[in-house]
Structure 1
């Protein structure tokens, strides 16, 4: 399978490459972004480069897909969105994303995630998308609920960050779920 770029009204979703390392580092070295991300803030460009390299590895092994979000109006790299723990055989994956704080509360993540959901169900023929959030990350779990994900429970000690384990909220959405529109919720991620 070749990497497929996607697009939305305002975003181009592209393969993340070394050319994005500085912007990617800026995002993941910001403690506001990583507070509920599952990793401590990055401290070097080399760490950012290693993560970008891991995106290629997981894609080639069909274990994940990660897209860089490019704001079409400025050409700026503003974050990533993608699938983790992808299993084509089991027809499932977990959704993940992060966004530069300059772009919070503007609907970019919602827009990108909706396209990834469409791609996952229609083109990858997945049956299930999951997502996990820190218990305290209300912005993320409200966004997931707005996009039709169902709260399925708490996973004890599921996330590790800051030298300790954290409980996580588990969400899921099936291809067969009927989604009813919800009121717009301001996005803070």
Structure 2
């Protein structure tokens, strides 16, 4: 199975390979990026190499997909976005993402997520996309809700990071909910 490259107006979503090691390290070594990531910040380039190997292994084992987010205008690698816990048989996955702070609040994350949702529902035929978000991460919670995700509840002490437990919110978006805005804009109902 070839890794799917996706495109939006401003972005290319590409396979992450060893040539992206330094970019991954530069992003995941930042406290402001990993604060709500679910893992401690990277302190060595070796951690970036290993996570890329994990991304590739998970894809070939059909357990996850992780895209690199690249700006079309200059080929700058600005973050990653992926489907974790991918279960094709059960038609579900969880979405996760991070972006370099220099590119926050420019709409790139939203643009990338919309394309991955389209791919997930139309190409992979998934029915449910979940998202686990730290309670304190209001920016991510607000973004997901703008994209139609519904808050389902709270997962107590769900993640362990920086030697402490963190409670998270659980969000989800079902395929029929994702289809609804398109149908409403056309004045019809999605089937």
Q: TM-score, normalised by structure 1?
A: 0.94
Q: 1:31-110 counterparts in 2 under 5 A? A: 31-110=31-110
Alignment map for 1:1-189 (pairs within 5 Å): 1-177=1-177, 178-179=180-181
Give me the CA root mean square deviation.
Answer: 0.9
Quote the Cα distance in structure 2 between the aligned partners of 1:2 and 1:93.
Answer: 19
**1:157, CA displacement in angstroms?**
1.1
Aligned-residue offset at 1:118? 0.2
The CA distance in 1 between the partners of 2:80 and 2:19, in whole Å, is 14
Separation in 2, partners of 1:43, 1:114: 32
What whole-Å deviation, never above 9, does each CA across 1:90-139 have from its counterpart, x for those lacking one?
00000000000100000000000000000000000000000010000000
User: What are structure 2's unaligned runs of at least 5 residues?
Assistant: 183-191
Offset from partner CA, 1:20-78 (integer Å, 9 cap, x none): 10011000000010011111110000000000000011101111000000011121100
Q: Which residue of 2 aligns with 1:185?
A: none
Number of matched pairs:
180
Equivalent-residue separation in structure 2 for 1:90 and 1:156 (angstroms) = 25
Q: Check 1:179–1:170 CA distance in 2 against 1; reply closer, same or farther (3 A cut).
A: farther
- Secondary structure of the residue that 1:166 maps to in structure 2? strand
The structure with higher relative contact order (CA 8 Å, sep 6+) is: 1
CA distance in 2, matches of 1:102, 1:47: 22
Runs of 4+ in 1 over 3 A off after TM superposition: none
For structure 1, the 5+ residue unaligned runs are: 181-189
